[in-house]
Amino acid sequence: MVKIIYDKNAKTVATRVAYGNALADLGDKYNFFVLDADLSGSTQTAIFGKKFPDRFINCGIAESNMISVAAGIAASGVPAFASSFAMFACGRAYEQIRNSVAYPELNVKICASHAGVTVGEDGATHQFNEDIAIMRSMPQMTVVNPADATEAYAAVEAILNHYGPVYMRLGRFAVPVVFEKESYKFELGKGVVLADGSDVVIFATGIMNAAALDAREMLKAEGIDAAVVNIHTIKPIDKEIIIKYAEKTRRIVTAEEHSVIGGLGSAVADVTSEYCPTRMARVGIEDVFGTSGKAAELLDYYNLNAKGIVNKVKSLF
Amino acid sequence: MNREKLLCLDEAAAKIRCLAMEAVYNAESGHPGGSLSIAEIIAYLYFEKMNIDPNDPCKPDRDRLVLSKGHTCPALYSALALKGFFPVEEIKTFRHLGSRLQGHPDMNKLPGIDMTTGSLGQGISAACGMAIKAKRCGDKYKVFAIIGDGESQEGQVWEAAMFAGHYKLNNLIAFLDFNHLQIDGDVREVMNPTPLDKKFEAFGWYVQVIDGHNFEEIENAVNNAYASDKPNVIICNTIKGKGVSFMENNAEWHGKAPKKEQYELAMAELEAAYERAKENRKNG
């Protein structure tokens, strides 16, 4: 079982920082290129760029070209990581990802930072809450959304060892470290049980895992025994664990820093509606655009917090 | 270029045109105009210049071709078939359900295709990726690309142009098939992309303008490109629909297949040209 070190005093690290460090560490062991589009300081690819300048390519502010260049590098036999903000890496370059990367099944890892509303002050034009929906509807695409710095760091090597297109979602905001680094093993496509429970299961992805653990404590005080399962791989999704917990608890709440349309909530409903119809409620962005504000304020503003999860859980009783 | 080589290439281009027309006719769809305009470029690359091996289509040191204007794949498929990458008979399956010869090139289905293309503007960027990979890793292969004049209306072409100029990708040689026509008409009337030479020059490319149906000019331009220290674009003045009188310079033939009578007329012209080329080669 995974060792959770999360508590009220947990240190906070952004998943993008773990990504940057992982690239730089893995560069000694593996041959791959890293591409960025003038945001290497923000996406943290600059750490790799400084250490391995011959394998780092700054493409300037031209994300469409960056994705197709990455495809060309991969078609020449070397994996390529391509990073920018989610809005641009996935939003702007959607069609390049589809036709130059996913359809030819090339070994390109699109690692998109600043996803969700926790971009913060930049506001709606930079807050991408639809990327999981878009990427998971694409054939041959794997979609990963790490919970914390530990998981993000481990996921980089895991996706590098998995041949094919991957979309990995990373955040700007420093979030609590949930997992112990030394013992953590990342298994692509496998849900991770953070806590067992019998009354309801909370399927959380990304930074909502910490909130889900807080919600579990709050629910315990009210006599509700909640399981918490981390779904870091949204596609291919871990059907078994979803079915197992749906059947066990008969109540599901999903929690994601993403639109309630097309993301984890939809992915879980895809499974349960077909195999084990189960009442569920979704915590996420309610089909609206974001707005400027501090990341922490925005999480509260959109009810992407423990209280938001608790309220949704109670709505099922 | 010696006469023997020239006559061989003439014959290859003539045969490519015949097969491309056959492909489009049997598919009852496809893009004859732009396939006919690039026949000499394709023939030169596959029958003269590129380091390729039909028995080892993925050999790491091969030269690459990215057909960025992927819709003109009938010409490319024909060259690959004639070179022995797959049986010539398979040309008839173009665009059919279950065929390896997809409507636009698929690198995972058909041997000899170096990059999946079809969505305009993306191929030239992928070619840049192959070229920068070679430069950074010390590979000696060259990367050829064929882009369209209509395609040059895509913003991504100019992102790629900036990229190649910035990183001085002199191992990249792009042919621009300047046949002046796109689906809706004359490129200069639909959305004028000219002056193409000055635009590429401004992005740091070595620009040459040639007759894209003349093998000696193609060869000279490619040899010049091999000696250049910049990314290369060879702007090829071509005739859309070249070789079929009623298709030449007619935008109507950008993306439709001939009916039976039209096909017979077209093939009569293309086969006559092929027979002449074959005869010429035999006679030296």
**For B138, which residue in chain A has the nearest alpha carbon?**
A54
Confidence category of residue A2, pLDDT binned at 50, 70, 90: confident
The mean pLDDT value for B250-272 works out to: 97
What's the pLDDT score for residue A187? 98
pTM score, whole prediction:
0.97
CATH architecture of the domain formed by B3-283: 3-Layer(aba) Sandwich (3.40)
DSSP string, B215-267: HHHHHHHHHHHHT-SS-EEEEEE--TTTT-TTTTT-GGGSS-PPPHHHHHHHH
**Interface list for A 74-113 with B (CB within 8 A):** 74-78, 80, 95-96, 99-100, 103-105
What's the pLDDT score for residue B30? 97
The mean pLDDT value for B76-100 works out to: 98
Would the CB atoms of B160 and A68 count as touching at under 8 Å? yes
What's the pLDDT score for residue A212? 98
Q: Are strands B206-211 and B232-237 parallel, antiparallel or unpaired?
A: parallel
What's the pLDDT score for residue B48? 98
**Interface list for B 237-256 with A (CB within 8 A):** none
What's the pLDDT score for residue A151? 98
Distance from CA of B160 to the nearest CA of A (A): 6
What's the pLDDT score for residue B284? 85
The mean pLDDT value for A284-303 works out to: 98
Asked if B160 is an interface residue toward chain A (Cβ–Cβ < 8 A), one would say: yes
Give me chain B's average pLDDT, please.
98
Q: What whole-number percentage of chain B has pLDDT above 70?
A: 100
Asked if B133 is an interface residue toward chain A (Cβ–Cβ < 8 A), one would say: yes
Q: Which helix (H) or strand (E) holds A59?
A: none
What's the pLDDT score for residue A94? 98
Asked if B120 is an interface residue toward chain A (Cβ–Cβ < 8 A), one would say: no
Confidence category of residue A1, pLDDT binned at 50, 70, 90: confident
Q: Which helix (H) or strand (E) holds A68?
A: helix A63-75
pLDDT tens for A30-71 read 999 999 999 999 999 999 999 999 999 999 999 999 999 999
Name the residue facing A104 among B108, B131, B159 (closest C-beta).
Answer: B108
Q: Are strands A233-235 and A142-144 parallel, antiparallel or unpaired?
A: antiparallel
pLDDT tens for B157-176 read 999 999 999 999 999 999 99
Task: List, in order of start, the domains of chain A with CATH numbers.
Answer: 12-176 (3.40.50.970), 192-314 (3.40.50.920)
Confidence category of residue A264, pLDDT binned at 50, 70, 90: very high
**For A53, which residue in chain B has the nearest alpha carbon?**
B136
B118: chain A residues, CB-CB within 8 Å: 99
Cα–Cα distance for residue pair A51/B162, rounded to 1 Å: 25
Asked if A127 is an interface residue toward chain B (Cβ–Cβ < 8 A), one would say: no
The mean pLDDT value for B211-217 works out to: 98
Distance from CA of A120 to the nearest CA of B (A): 29
Asked if B88 is an interface residue toward chain A (Cβ–Cβ < 8 A), one would say: no
Distance from CA of B72 to the nearest CA of A (A): 17
Helix segments in chain B, DSSP class H: 3-27, 32-37, 39-44, 73-83, 122-137, 155-166, 187-191, 196-202, 215-226, 260-283
Q: What whole-number percentage of chain A has pLDDT above 70?
A: 100
Please count the residue pairs, one from chain A and one from chain B, whose beta carbons lie less than 8 angstroms apart.
101
What's the pLDDT score for residue A8? 85
Confidence category of residue B39, pLDDT binned at 50, 70, 90: very high
A77: chain B residues, CB-CB within 8 Å: 60, 133
Domain segments of chain B as ranges: 3-283
Cα-Cα-Cα-Cα torsion A99, A100, A103, A105, nearest 10 degrees, comes to: -170
pLDDT tens for A61-111 read 999 999 999 999 999 999 999 999 999 999 999 999 999 999 999 999 999
DSSP string, B104-122: S--TTTSTT--S---STTH
pLDDT tens for A154-212 read 999 999 999 999 999 999 999 999 999 999 999 999 999 999 999 999 999 999 999 99
Would the CB atoms of A74 and B129 count as touching at under 8 Å? yes
What's the pLDDT score for residue A274? 98
Would the CB atoms of A73 and B130 count as touching at under 8 Å? yes
Name the residue facing B107 among A62, A75, A95 (closest C-beta).
Answer: A75
Q: Which helix (H) or strand (E) holds A160?
A: helix A149-160
Scan for tokens 């909370």, then name that residue.
A202
**For A31, which residue in chain B has the nearest alpha carbon?**
B137
Cα–Cα distance for residue pair B270/B36, rounded to 1 Å: 10
